Amino acid sequence: MTIRVAMIGHGFMGAAHSVGWRQAPRMFDLPDDVEMAVVVGRDPEKVAASAAQWGWSEWATDWREVVARDDIDLVDIVTPGDSHAEIAIAALEAGKHVLCEKPLANTVDEATAMADAAARAAARGVRSMVGFTYRRVPAVTLLRDLIAQGAVGRIAQVRAAYRQDWLVDPAMPLAWRLQKEHAGSGALGDIGAHIIDMTQFVTGLDVTSVSGVVDTIVRKRPLQASGVGLAGTAADGYGDVTVDDIALFSGRLSTGALVSFEASRFATGRKNDLSIEVSGDRGALRFDLEDLNTLWFYDRTAPESTQGFTRILVTEPQHPYLAGWWPAGHMLGYEHGFSHQVVDLVTAIAEGTDPHPSFEDGLSVQRVLAAVEASSADDSAWTRVDADATVKG
């Protein structure tokens, strides 16, 4: 069987997903063949160039026509968040498998509608997955596996942070990621969603309540030449930033353990610093994306004379996903997670199982994001994460 893929969108994430679709069938023995059938974008010239550069067989400008085509089996959504729900629901109802970039949607209501559509589609054998790709970094999957095996014991505390600095310069132009109607939220949803999902993934626990604050540091930015039509534009050449630049919040897991979260696009000098540390009564594990082939493990049960954080180089064939790549000690990079994402999705489709993270997992993260915003609006009051994500707790 051949899975014919249509990708909707072709920006930065489009490039990353294209690498995944190209590499996975060449490096792994997939149960089905994959064909990069068509890429969709609004600008004919730009999408044609993307198709030629990344290896898509054809290009188009109308996603609705592509979704309706009988020769398309899977729709990969890499557009801004304001279009995720419409495209994903249409694709699922048309019987197409769906891969959708994170965060799943811009609101809890949208994410709920998407999860409901995914559940209906699953009953017909149609699969869906949300692209929290950092789950597929081998060291992160190994971290999850070690926790499940009891390596840290009872979890007492988690520290998770994602820091970037690309907005420190106030001259950085206004872009769609800085507009709430397109992005939903700023640092909170863009990178905070990753650390929420990673925390829930590696611990196997849900974030049940939060207390936090979000803030916008630079509130107006210069318009781009292509920025005509952006909401909040002004005659002086500046437009309003309507999302947060930084989110700082605490969370409580379903066991009662505490988590500290930091999501910032104003962390000067930090380019793509995602880190997580899980501490328990038997040990601790730490991962840093800027050293993504490494996992640090502290074994509290070892003799006191040899206790200390031990560096695990996650490049061995027995480590998650590594058997498909290079000899031991040869490093992987950022792009490999997108290949692993394809492997897991195509395998689930072939086996008739529901892949993870599911749309329900994406909805879970969306509820936490909404609870953080509600908490910030209520003087950082502790707020329970539930269906409406606005209940004080």
Among 44, 49, 95, smallest CA distance to 72 is for 95
Residue-range domains of the chain with CATH? 2-132 (3.40.50.720), 135-356+366-376 (3.30.360.10)
Tell me the pTM.
0.94
Q: Which of 8-22, 57-71, 157-171, 231-245 has the lowest mean pLDDT?
A: 231-245
Mean per-residue pLDDT, 301-320: 96
Which residue(s) pair with 163 in the sheet?
264, 273
**Is residue 155 very low, low, confident or very high in pLDDT (cuts 50, 70, 90)?**
very high
User: What does the pLDDT look like over 89-104, one tens digit per residue?
Assistant: 999 999 999 999 999 9
**Is residue 225 very low, low, confident or very high in pLDDT (cuts 50, 70, 90)?**
low
pLDDT at 183: 86
DSSP state of 233: B
**Average model confidence (pLDDT) across the chain:** 94
Query: Cβ-count burial of 364 within 10 angstroms (0-12 exposed, 13-18 middle, 19+ buried)?
Result: buried
Q: Rg of the Cα trace of the chain?
A: 21
- CB of 157 closer than 8 Å to CB of 336: no
Among 111, 145, 120, 86, smallest CA distance to 385 is for 111
How many angstroms separate the CA atoms of 2 and 230, rounded? Answer: 40
- Decide if pLDDT at 254 tops 90: yes
Give the residue, 378 or 237, on which the prediction is more confident.
Answer: 378
- Decide if pLDDT at 298 tops 80: yes
Mean per-residue pLDDT, 228-246: 72
How many angstroms separate the CA atoms of 102 and 111, rounded? Answer: 11
How many angstroms separate the CA atoms of 256 and 118, rounded? Answer: 31
Does the bond joining 25 to the residue before it have cis omega, within 30 degrees of 0?
no
Per the listing, tokens 């993870």 go with: 356
Helix (H, G, I), strand (E, B), or coil: what is residue 297? Answer: strand
What token pair was written down for 69?
A: 């085509």
Q: Kindly list the distances between the CA atom of residue 244 and the CA atoms of 137, 247, 248, in Å, as whole numbers in the listed order.
A: 27, 7, 11
pLDDT at 229: 44
Does the bond joining 320 to the residue before it have cis omega, within 30 degrees of 0?
no
